[in-house]
Amino acid sequence: MPTAREIESALFEWAPKELAMDWDNVGLLVGDPEKEIHRVLVSLDITADVVEEAIAMGAELIVSHHPLMNCKWLPVQTLREDTPQGRMLRRMARADVAAICMHTNLDAAEGGVNDALLRALKVVDPGPLTEERIGRVGWLEDGPVPLAEFVRRVSRALGCNGLRYADAGKPVHRVAVGGGACGEYVGRAMALGCDTFVTSDLSYHDFLDAGPNGINLIDAGHFPTEDVVCREVIEGLQWRFPELQIQKSASHREVIQYYVEGD
């Protein structure tokens, strides 16, 4: 059976470490590199529930997209039982569960987050949205289609609870996607001639400016726009290591709910 180190190497061959942003923290972050792995749990995030799920299924390794510590938004200075993060990391260490995180390197990688998003939305002929290869632009395979129809497609394809969007009054044909929080690239999508941008975590002002700027903006949620990559991770690992038992987390799902008047 492969070791944690061998699985990390295989994932880095796909999504090289050099593609990660400098504030990021990717690779084998927890565990013994020489430990033999039989079962793997794949999840967008590592939460306390995901750790319990891994332990219950006998998984020695969790592979996630978001780093479980020491990236831009999750500094870890202590490993204390009286903090949620410390408790979770201590639980993982005691149960000998390893963690490999593939984040902005997997956003940029061929066949990573953004390519998975394109595939789900039937956008073809992809090119990069940014110089760092974060995000993609392409053409809607069956476009142009009315925005309302495309919004329905996005929601269904990504399994959204609901989504927020602004209509710039044009049909959808040239589409930019940015899995996760890519609001800073709206201008870039416009400069590349896109009529529509699908991303997440957009602000009120992003939406307010969308109409005058002539771009349809769709905020399909952080979880839905990135969770699509889990399937690619599972397929890639299973192809490389057919002997591994690999499962997608059943406990981790979208936490954001939408209240709609009249429901």
Q: How far is the CB of 104 from Zn ion (least distance, A)?
A: 9
Distance CA 254, CA 126 (A): 27
The smaller minimum CB distance to Zn ion, of residues 4 and 228, is found at: 228
Pair 200, 163: CB distance under 8 Å: no
Q: Quick one: which segment of 27-35, 79-87, 177-185, 254-262 binds Zn ion (CB under 5 A)?
A: 177-185
Q: Quick one: which segment of 14-22, 130-138, 201-209, 224-232 binds Zn ion (CB under 5 A)?
A: 224-232
Q: How far is the CB of 181 from Zn ion (least distance, A)?
A: 7
Q: How far is CA 44 from CA 88, 146, 233, 253, in A?
A: 16, 31, 10, 9
Instruction: Tell me: does residue 143 bind Zn ion (CB under 5 A).
Output: no
Instruction: Tell me: does residue 31 bind Zn ion (CB under 5 A).
Output: no
Cβ-proximal residues to 251 (8 Å cutoff; 6+ apart), any chain: 47, 49, 50, 52, 53
Q: How far is the CB of 217 from Zn ion (least distance, A)?
A: 18
Pair 201, 37: CB distance under 8 Å: no
Give the burial string for 164-179 (b: 16+ CB within 10 Å, else e).
bbbebeeebbbbbbbb
Q: Quick one: which segment of 31-39, 50-58, 219-227, 252-260 binds Zn ion (CB under 5 A)?
A: 219-227
The smaller minimum CB distance to Zn ion, of residues 206 and 226, is found at: 226
The smaller minimum CB distance to Zn ion, of residues 45 and 195, is found at: 45
User: Whose CA is closest to 229, among 139, 83, 112?
Assistant: 112
Q: How many residues bind Zn ion (CB under 5 A)?
A: 2
User: Whose CA is closest to 42, among 214, 204, 235?
Assistant: 235
The smaller minimum CB distance to Zn ion, of residues 53 and 226, is found at: 226
Whose CB is nearest to Zn ion?
A: 180
Hey, which residues does 165 pair with through a beta bridge? 218
Q: How far is the CB of 143 from Zn ion (least distance, A)?
A: 27
Q: Quick one: which segment of 2-10, 84-92, 138-146, 223-231 binds Zn ion (CB under 5 A)?
A: 223-231
Per CB under 5 A, the list member of 67, 112, 180, 221 interacting with Zn ion is 180
Pair 60, 5: CB distance under 8 Å: no
Distance CA 200, CA 261 (A): 23
User: Whose CA is closest to 40, among 225, 230, 179, 227?
Assistant: 230
The smaller minimum CB distance to Zn ion, of residues 117 and 121, is found at: 117
Instruction: Tell me: does residue 183 bind Zn ion (CB under 5 A).
Output: no
User: Which residues of this protein are in contact with Zn ion, per CB under 5 A?
Assistant: 180, 226
